[in-house]
Amino acid sequence: MGNGCCFGEAGGRMAVGSSMTGQHNHPSDGPNDAVSLFLKSRGYHGLFSQIELSLSASSLRDRDVLSKSDPMAVIYMKGRNGRLEELGRTEVVSNSLNPTWIEKVNVTYHFELLQTLTFRVYDVDTQFHHVDVQMLKLDEQQFLGEASCTLSEIVTRSNRLLTLDLAQHEDSMKAAHPKSYGKLTIHAEESINSKITTEMILRCSELENKDLFSKSDPFLVISKIVESGISIPICKTEVIKDDLDPTWKSVFLNIQQVGSKDSPLTIECFNFNSNGKHDLIGKIDKSLVDLEKIYLSQTGANLYLPAAAGHDYHNKVLKSQLFVDKFSESVQYTFLDYLAGGCELNFMVAIDFTASNGNPRLPDSLHYIDPSGRPNAYQKAIQEIGGLLQFYDSDKRFPAWGFGARPIDGPVSHCFNLNGSSNYCEVEGIQGIMTAYISALFNVSLAGPTLFGRVVTVAADIASQALVEGQQKYYVLLIITDGVITDLQETKDAIVKASDLPLSILIVGVGGADFKEMEFLDGDKGERLESTSGRVASRDIVQFVPFRDVQGEEVSMAQTLLAELPSQFLSYMRTRGIEPKSMIL
C-alpha cells in the first residue's frame, strides 16, 4: 500500500475511509474515497459493465442465384489509433434475408470512453459453410452492407434496441442519404454479474501491535489476483483506531469486479500511518467461496506474513485470525438500468472569460481562435467532454454560460448566457456551444475576478427545479477555467448545498496557473468540503483535472474527468431510494 495515501493524518485517515468521511450504511453509497484514490493511483479508472450484443437483420440484399444469401455479421470497435479491431463474429444463417443470429458478441462498456462500433454483414459462399467462422477470410465473401454507431447510443435506449440502415462502404462515408441495403437491429443486455453484489462484515482477532505508544489502527485492503499474478485492489475498509480486535463496517464486492466466486482474492490488514507508509500486519488468500465457508463454519482463518524476498523461508503463520460475521448476496440496479429506465444526463457548460486568458485576438491567448481550425484548450474540452455526454441527453439542448466578463454596455457578470440572450441559456448541440463561445469572444470584454459561486448556484437551481417536478434527470456541469478562484468559500458553500442535488461538477484547468485550490474542491483525497455554517458535503460531486496533465497521455481528459461520474450518479440515486423507471429486479 505504501505511498497510496500521503496527505497528513486527518486527510489520510479519511482517505482510507474512516468514520470522519460520514456514515456508509448501504452499498449504494458508492466506493469509499480511498478505493477510488488507490485504484486511480495504479491506472484503473471508471465504470465498466459486460454487455452482450445480439444481432438481427431484415431486407438484406440477395446475392445468390438459386437461393437466398447466407449472412454472417462481424462486429468491430474503433481503437485509439482509429483502426477497427474485430470483437467477434456471428454464425452463418443459411438461405435468409431476415436472419436472427444466435451467436452473441461480448463487449465491455466504459462510460468514460466514446466506443464506436461498426457492423459488417457478409454473404458466406456455400463452399465455406464447413469452415469455422473465425477462420473465414472476409475478402473471399460477398459484402452485403455495414453500419456504425456508438455503444452509448444502444445502452441509452429504453429497450436497448437500436436499428440502423446498412450501406455500402462508399455510401456510408457520404453526407447525403445513402442507399439502403437492409436494416440491422442490435440488442444489448447487461451481464447479471454486473448486478450481483456480495456484502460482508469482516473482523480480525489478536492483531499484532505495530504502534509504540498506542494500539494499531487497522484497515483492510481486498485485491484480486489477475492471470499475470498482479494484485489489483478492488475494495477497502475504514480505519479503526486503537483496536487489535476490530470489526469493520460492511464491504461490498461486485461479482464482476472479482471475476467469479472462485477467483483468488488477497485480503491485507494494514496499520494506518499518517505518512502513508502503512505497516502490513498480516494477509490471507481466499476466494469468495472460501470466505462464505468461513462465515458458515463460524470459525476464523489465520493470517500470515509473506517470506522475505530472496529467501526460501516459508510464510510466517500468525495467531491473528480473520472472521466473516456476515456474508450475503443481492442483485442491485446498475447505472445502465437507470439509463434504460429513461434517466438522462443533462450536460451544462460554463466558460472562463477573465482577462488573465489574454487578448483573444493574439496567438498567445488561451481564447485564440486559430484560422487553421486547430481548436484551443477551451474548444478541446467542450468537444471531448460534451461530445461524449451528448449521447445521454435526448434533446441535446445544453445550458451554456460565461463568467468573468463585461457584456456590451453592462457591468462585469459572473454568469451570463453564452448565446447573448437575456431570456434563455440553452443552445442546440455541441456545435451550438462552439458557435456561441466564438460569438461571445467578440461581444464581451474580458474582465475578472474568477468567481465560481454564481455559476454553481444557477446550475444547482436547474437541478433543483427538475427534482421538484419529479423528473428523473442528472445534471453534469463542466467548468473550464484558466485561473485561481477568488471566491473559494462562496464556491464551497454552493457545492456543499448542491451535493444534495442530482448534480456533478467537472472542472478543467487550462493554462499554466497553480490549481491547488481547484484540487481542494475535488474530494479525491477524502476531505469532504465544509460550508461556512459547518455543514459537510453529503457526497463528493467535483472532479478536477489540469488540461496540461492529460495532453499526450494514455488516459484522456474524458477518462480522467468522467471516471467517477457513474459512482456519483449511483450514490445519489441509491441513497435516496430512487429506482429506475419501469424496472423490476
CA distance 340 to 156: 6
Q: Judge whether 499 and 524 are in contact, CB under 8 Å.
A: no
* 459 and 557 within one domain: yes
CA distance 202 to 427: 52
Query: What CATH number corresponds to the domain at position 285?
Result: 2.60.40.150
Average pLDDT over residues 68-72: 92
Q: Say if residue 395's pLDDT is above 70.
A: yes
* 246 and 178 within one domain: no
pLDDT cut 90: percent of the chain above it: 54
Average pLDDT over residues 104-119: 91
- Predicted pLDDT of residue 26: 36
Q: Judge whether 101 and 88 are in contact, CB under 8 Å.
A: no
Query: What CATH number corresponds to the domain at position 536?
Result: 3.40.50.410
- Note whether residue 216 is domain-resident: yes
Q: Judge whether 391 and 150 are in contact, CB under 8 Å.
A: yes
Q: Which of 272, 296, 331 is the last residue of a domain?
A: 331
**Across 28-32, 414-418, 508-512, which has the greatest mean pLDDT?**
414-418
Residue type (1 letter), 477: L
Identify whether 31 is preceded by a cis peptide bond (ω within 30 of 0). Answer: no
Longest CA–CA separation in the chain, Å: 89
* 168 and 90 within one domain: yes
**Short-list 320, 317, 321, 286, CA closest to 304:** 317
- Predicted pLDDT of residue 523: 58
Q: Which of 331, 349, 370 is the last residue of a domain?
A: 331
Angle at 233 between CA 228 and CA 239, to 5 degrees: 155
- Predicted pLDDT of residue 68: 86
Average pLDDT over residues 305-325: 84
- Predicted pLDDT of residue 82: 87
Q: Quickly state the pLDDT bin for 311 (edges 50, 70, 90).
A: low
Choice among 291-305, 377-391, 520-534 with the minimum mean pLDDT = 520-534
Strand order in the sheet with 84-89: 84-89, 71-78, 116-123, 142-150
pLDDT cut 70: percent of the chain above it: 85
State the DSSP H helix or E strand holding residue 116, giving kind and residue range, or none if neither.
strand 116-123
* 141 and 240 within one domain: no
Q: Which of 331, 360, 394 is the last residue of a domain?
A: 331
* 271 and 347 within one domain: no
- Predicted pLDDT of residue 64: 64
CA distance 26 to 251: 9
- 404 dihedral zone (left: phi>0; alpha: psi -120 to 50; beta): left
Phi/psi of residue 394, nearest 5 degrees: -65, -40
* 254 and 150 within one domain: no
Average pLDDT over residues 68-97: 93
Q: Quickly state the pLDDT bin for 539 (edges 50, 70, 90).
A: confident
**Short-list 252, 320, 323, CA closest to 292:** 323
Q: What is the DSSP letter of 365?
A: S
- Note whether residue 541 is domain-resident: yes
* 525 and 381 within one domain: yes
Angle at 434 between CA 518 and CA 47, to 5 degrees: 55
CA distance 509 to 112: 19
Pairing state of beta strands 218-225 and 231-236? antiparallel
* 261 and 168 within one domain: no
* 386 and 406 within one domain: yes
The pLDDT tens digits of the residues spanning 398-455 come to 999 999 999 887 899 999 999 999 899 999 999 999 999 999 999 999 998 999 999 9
The 3-class secondary structure across 19-67, one letter per residue, is HHHCCCCCHHHCCCHHHHHHHHHCCCCCCEEEEEEEEEEECCCCCCCCC
Q: Which triple of cell numbers denotes residue 45? A: 479508472
Choice among 48-52, 95-99, 105-109 with the minimum mean pLDDT = 48-52
- Predicted pLDDT of residue 48: 67
Q: Say if residue 35's pLDDT is above 50.
A: no
Q: Judge whether 398 and 433 are in contact, CB under 8 Å.
A: yes
* 309 and 364 within one domain: no
Q: Say if residue 133's pLDDT is above 50.
A: yes
Q: Which residues lie closer than 8 Å to 53 by C-beta, 6 or more apart? A: 75, 104, 105, 106, 107, 154, 186, 187, 188
What's the mean per-residue pLDDT of the chain?
Answer: 84
Choice among 19-23, 153-157, 236-240, 485-489 with the minimum mean pLDDT = 19-23
- Note whether residue 8 is domain-resident: no
- Note whether residue 491 is domain-resident: yes
**Across 82-96, 159-173, 226-240, which has the greatest mean pLDDT?**
82-96
- Note whether residue 362 is domain-resident: yes
The 3-class secondary structure across 125-191, one letter per residue, is CHHHCCCCHHHCCHHHCEEEEEEEEEHHHHHCCCCCEEEEECECHHHHCCCCCCCCCCEEEEEEEEC
* 474 and 355 within one domain: yes
Q: Say if residue 28's pLDDT is above 70.
A: no
Q: Judge whether 260 and 239 are in contact, CB under 8 Å.
A: no
Average pLDDT over residues 169-182: 61
Domain that holds residue 267: 196-331
Q: Say if residue 6's pLDDT is above 80.
A: no
Number of domains making up the chain: 3
> CA dist 252 to 81, 120, 238, 448, Å?
37, 41, 13, 46
- Note whether residue 37 is domain-resident: yes
Phi/psi of residue 164, nearest 5 degrees: -125, 150
Tell me the residue ranges of DSSP E strands in 482-549.
503-509, 542-546
- Note whether residue 3 is domain-resident: no
- Note whether residue 20 is domain-resident: no
* 566 and 536 within one domain: yes
